[in-house]
A and B are shown apart, each in its own frame.
Chain A
Amino acid sequence: MTDVAATMSEIRERGYAHPEVLVSTDWVAEHLNDPNLRIIESNEDPLIYPWGHVPGAVQVDWAADLNDPVRRDYLQRTAFEELMSRIGVSNDTTVVFYGDKNNWWACYAFWVFQLFGHTHARVMDGGRVKWEKEGRPLTREVTTPARSKYRARERDDTKIRAFRDEVLRHLKGHLPLVDVRSPQEFTGERTHMPEYPQEGVLRGGHIPGAQNVPWGKAVRLEDGSFKAADALRQIYEKEAGLRPTDEIVTYCRIGERSSHTWFVLTYLLGYPRVRNYDGSWTEWGNSVGLPIERP
């Protein structure tokens, strides 16, 4: 396996609990031809990868590749094995995710990969924004790696994924919930704008007891990279009152922004009991009878 930590001195200096999960754009540029590595781009906008991507990168589309095509759920083991084979990933291949939106979808894909236990996984700090700002090369040539053999375990939804009824018990137990949406979504203001009723959700507001810590607080505005651990602790511990030993649930609208915060809390701050509620507000705000808090 590639020794990530040895080349990551600047990232190590930020004081993360698990600095090995991050790689820099410099490091990726030096490892474009590493046969033990697969660079994976995951975006919200399906046009971005064909428009230009890191040379050698493959695309994993959150909707087409990671979601079940019929019901609202993630792919099952055999489909995950097929995906990994198609993108040329073996069980010992290290995957490096990056993408648009400050790595929302990169973290989301990373999170789904962890449901299947593929721990040889990294995120490129700063994502596409940083890569492009540094003037690094992009190509429109679609990468088609040789198929690999991959054996996955069954998907484990018990440790890092939260379901609706579990969240209901969580709030009744007064355990911390982190709503990472914008303040307007948190208050419910955004779903009530006149003339724009189609928000994909029937009720606005937030899960009772949730704290609003928008995902973007964790990144530096100038290049999209993650803030240092001290700054993150200021946000999540001093301002939001979380404790590293807390059992925490993060959520947003469909689980992508909250997977970004899940990544921050789990790997950068080292909290061991954080789960992402991927049903998020599109499930909670549409469910009959669930409690909702609004100012």
Chain B
Amino acid sequence: MKWLYIALVLIAGCVRPVPGPAPPPVPPVPIVEPITPAPLTVVVVKDNASLGQLPSSQVAALMSENIRGYCQTHCKFGSDGKTPEYRSYQWATDVSLQSEGVRAAFKTAVDDAKGSRVPWLVVNNGKTGFSGPYPATEAEVLTILQRYGGA
């Protein structure tokens, strides 16, 4: 048994591993500029008629008091100095009387949604922002808002 063990060790030592395919090159890690939180413009665009088909958590997130409260303290104010730039509109709303920031965010939603009628969220802090389908939960929305607007 001892000789068999020694023979196996010797054979194993003679076997060279077959070289496999080269590992894929590691992509360079992009340098991510840290986001500097700044006052936000937040626009939600939705289709009122189909809201009843959304999950309950998403409907609650669309109307959430916590999100409204966050926007009250982290959004830019309108020309009256007290109304935050946080809007929730139908897709076919005429926003021509709104501020430049709200108009731009609304246009971003319309352009990015490409005809989709799922609820859409646009967050803009003046330098960078988010545009995408409205998340399914309040927590996810708050995470996005805090990323661009700070805690």
A and B: partners? no
